[in-house]
Amino acid sequence: MGRVVAVEDAFANPQTVIALGGTSEIAAAILDHLVASRCRRLVLAGRDPAALDAHAARLLAGGADAVERLVFTADDPAGAGPLVDRAFAVAGGQVDLVLVAIGALGDQATDEADPRRVTDMITTNFSWPAAAMVTAAGHLRAAGHGRIVVLSSVAGVRVRRSNFVYGSAKAGLDGFAQGLAEALRGSGVHVHIVRPGFVRTKMTRALTPAPFAVDAADVARAVVAGVRRNLEVIWVPPLLGPLVTAARHLPRALWRQVR
């Protein structure tokens, strides 16, 4: 990809995007919306080369001018910085938005009894994305421009017994993103924290949908709208915001009943 200088257009639509975890269903839906809104250059980073190729082909057919692909695995935080550096180099110019869509739901019953699996869950859901965000923030701060969109979860706002391994890792990532947003205040770089509830995807297919369940397309629409409005926290659906905020103040005896 040749060197370009691309910035958001007059409607705050990003022109150049890096997607970490770019083949997840939620990320794919977000990128489809961004391309439909005039995003033209993308760097997709993911672990499945075939999925990267398929998604790149769809984005090009949808109107993107160029889509580069990088293969990585989020199993070692030390590799996050070099991967993000490479993504910025491949992008070839100013990057408007970095989408961080890395995560694994895991299996609570198995994970909580296995120290190695707990470590893997924390690495994938917190440590690797956090290291990637720090590196991306450095690039964007140097440019004085850009946005980081990170997929958190309502599961991290107040951790439940039924998914505390996943929830605690997301709680760490969510708190880290909040702190990073404050550290970047005044730099021209914005952090957007996306907190979806239950999303119907392949990852959750075996689970019973929770109340207020949404599809990946619903998350994508909310993210695009939230970024345009410059929201720091994007709840999906919006009703979860006041509900989850209230739930944070429930006495522990009552919270134990929330599975």
Domains of the chain from N-terminus onward: 16-250 (3.40.50.720)
The per-residue pLDDT for 4 is 35
The two tokens of residue 77 are: 């935080």
Handedness of CA 110, 108, 100, 116 (dihedral sign): negative
Rounded to two decimals, the pTM is 0.91
The two tokens of residue 89 are: 């180099």
Is residue 2's pLDDT more than 80? no
> What is the residue-averaged pLDDT of the chain?
89
Q: Cα separations (Å) of 142 from 25, 145, 223? A: 31, 8, 25
The per-residue pLDDT for 233 is 96
With tokens 């915001």, the residue in question is 241
Rg of the chain's alpha carbons, rounded to an integer? 18
Which range (26-30, 196-200, 227-231, 255-259) has the least confidence?
Answer: 255-259
Q: Which long-range contacts (CB under 8 A, 24 or more apart) does 58-62 make?
A: 58/28, 58/32, 59/31, 59/32, 59/35, 62/32, 62/35, 62/36
The per-residue pLDDT for 3 is 35
Q: Cα separations (Å) of 245 from 158, 171, 216? A: 9, 14, 23
Is residue 255's pLDDT more than 60? no
pLDDT average, residue stretch 18-28 = 93
Tell me if 151 sits within 8 A of 100, measured CB to CB: yes
The per-residue pLDDT for 1 is 31
The two tokens of residue 168 are: 């605690």
The per-residue pLDDT for 259 is 60
Active site residues: 166
DSSP code of 208?
A: P
The per-residue pLDDT for 12 is 62
Q: What percent of the chain has pLDDT over 90?
A: 70
Q: What residue ranges in the chain does DSSP mark as E strands?
A: 16-20, 41-46, 66-71, 97-100, 146-151, 189-196, 199-200, 214-215, 233-236
pLDDT band of residue 193 (cuts 50, 70, 90) is very high
DSSP code of 162?
A: G
Phi, then psi, of 120 in degrees rounded to 5: -65, -40
Q: What percent of the chain has pLDDT over 70?
A: 91
pLDDT digits (tens, 9 = 90+) for 91-102: 987 899 999 999
Closest CA to 21 of 103, 105, 130, 101: 101
Tell me if 199 sits within 8 A of 214, measured CB to CB: yes
